[in-house]
Amino acid sequence: MTYTSLVVLAVAAVVVVDGVILRTNLVRRKAFWTSYAIILAFQLIVNGVLTGVPVVRYDADVIIGWRVAYAPVEDLLFGFAMVLLTLSTWVWLGRRAHARQSSGVPSGSTRH
């Protein structure tokens, strides 16, 4: 599969993880989009160096060819999927820990 089709699939899959599987719904939260905007600004700098120097080279046959700050546009979606999966898991873990505390179930044991 090309990088282009893989990133589109990845973003769709992670949005499902956030909205349906873990139900963290970060894509509807102002705090998420504000965090993502900050992360994106730094991604453009760091990834700009990695792809502008370049440290990483891409096979032209697997990308659509549009570039943003030297990087293939696919890298933006790759970063978005990585950040959303991480933050969704982080928030889900925090919510689960609070739920266990308030229901009196010690952490580490199975909930029924």
Query: Using CB under 8 A as the criterion, which residues of the chain lie in contact with other proteins when the complex forms?
Result: 2-3, 6, 10, 24-26, 29-32, 34-35, 38-39, 42, 46, 49-50, 53-59, 62, 79, 82-83, 85-87, 89-95, 97-98, 101-102
Which residue in 70, 53, 74, 79 sits closest to 62, CA to CA?
A: 74
Amino acid, res. 22: L
Q: How far is the CB of 112 from other proteins (least distance, A)?
A: 21
| Distance between CA atoms of residues 37 and 16, nearest Å | 21
**Cβ distance to other proteins smaller for residue 20 or 55:** 55
Q: How far is the CB of 84 from other proteins (least distance, A)?
A: 9
What SS3 state is found at 106? coil
**Cβ distance to other proteins smaller for residue 102 or 112:** 102
**Cβ distance to other proteins smaller for residue 55 or 112:** 55
Environment class of residue 40 by beta-carbon count within 10 Å: exposed (0-12), middle (13-18) or buried (19+)? middle
